[in-house]
Amino acid sequence: PTTDQLTVAQARAQMEVSTRFLGRPPRVLRVEDRMIPGPAGEIPIRVVTPIGADSSSDPGPPPVLVYFHGGGWVVGDLSSHESLCRALANASGAIVVSVGYRLAPEHRFPAAAEDAYAALAWFAEHATEVGGDPSRVAVCGDSAGGDLAAAAALMARDRGGPALVLQVLAFPVLGFDPENESYRLFAEGHYLTRGEMLWFWDQYVPDVNDRRDPYAAPLEAAEVSGLAPALVITAGHDVLRDEGEAYARRLAAAGVPTTLTRYPGMIHSFLRRYPFLNEGKRAVDEIATALRRSFGLTGPSRGVDGGG
């Protein structure tokens, strides 16, 4: 059944079961769970240190990628996207830190967005505590996590926060327009349905007036100039395709260095399923290459196993 036909507990259990079918995650140098301070208590994080971090030719500590998992702000956790975070760490050479932000409906907007920014701000000052370089920090997220990555980048600009080297938004939620073309074309039968997205919005931002807040819907931002450079990845058969591409166009028009890549044959969340999809592997490599370039690391992406 689709998520909108389930209870919240059932939806979370469904995500947990699906994670088991992703197979054995890539080997990395080290995985560590810890807590960092947040606006409403401690935030759990999972720190993934890539293969080769202890013998890299790059001078100094490795850069840091702060990752926000997808799941409609309702499902997903540190484990659901660990395999992807490991792959990104190995391929990019960066320490990848997955953030266990507060979930809806127990914690509605702006809880997740505030947690996302708090985590970003913390790493910009304390990355050395996980072995990383606080001067080279990027954000990345998929789906609802893409929304949080974009919101964190907006907050960093608006609040005089850390300077990001890159924001990576993979098939992100960026606005509330369930009547746009991609919502109509792919409303059913393409994995993520229109009904599911409406359900997710109802859990996270039940007040429709709040859905125009740019920290919930970055497409609503009055001004997008001065933001971090962006890589925006969309799936060709995804209800969220058009809003991701609209945001990329806005960023580029405002002078923000932006790369937009549509993966034509893909459905929503194909990146998390990279073990089974060649295009998913290609997207991991594209993200890793963009990160390495932004971090000033030499050489191409090193592959999901860290071996090049």
For residues 177-193, average pLDDT: 97
Cis peptide before 25, with omega less than 30 degrees from 0?
no
Beta bridge partners of 64: 95, 137
Question: Residue 259: what residue type?
Answer: T
- pLDDT, one tens digit per residue, over 205-250 is 999 999 999 999 999 999 999 999 999 999 999 999 999 999 999 9
Q: What region does 233 belong to: left with phi over 0, alpha with psi -120 to 50, or beta?
A: beta
- pLDDT, one tens digit per residue, over 39-65 is 999 999 999 999 988 776 667 899 999
Its pTM stands at 0.97
- Helices and strands: H and E segment counts in the chain: 8, 8
For residues 151-165, average pLDDT: 98
**Cα distance between residue 157 and residue 230, in whole Å:** 14
Burial class (CB in 10 A: 0-12, 13-18, 19+), 278: exposed
For residues 19-28, average pLDDT: 94
Is 234 within 8 Å of 171 (Cβ atoms)?
Answer: yes
Indicate which residues carry an active-site annotation.
143, 238, 268
**Cα distance between residue 27 and residue 302, in whole Å:** 13
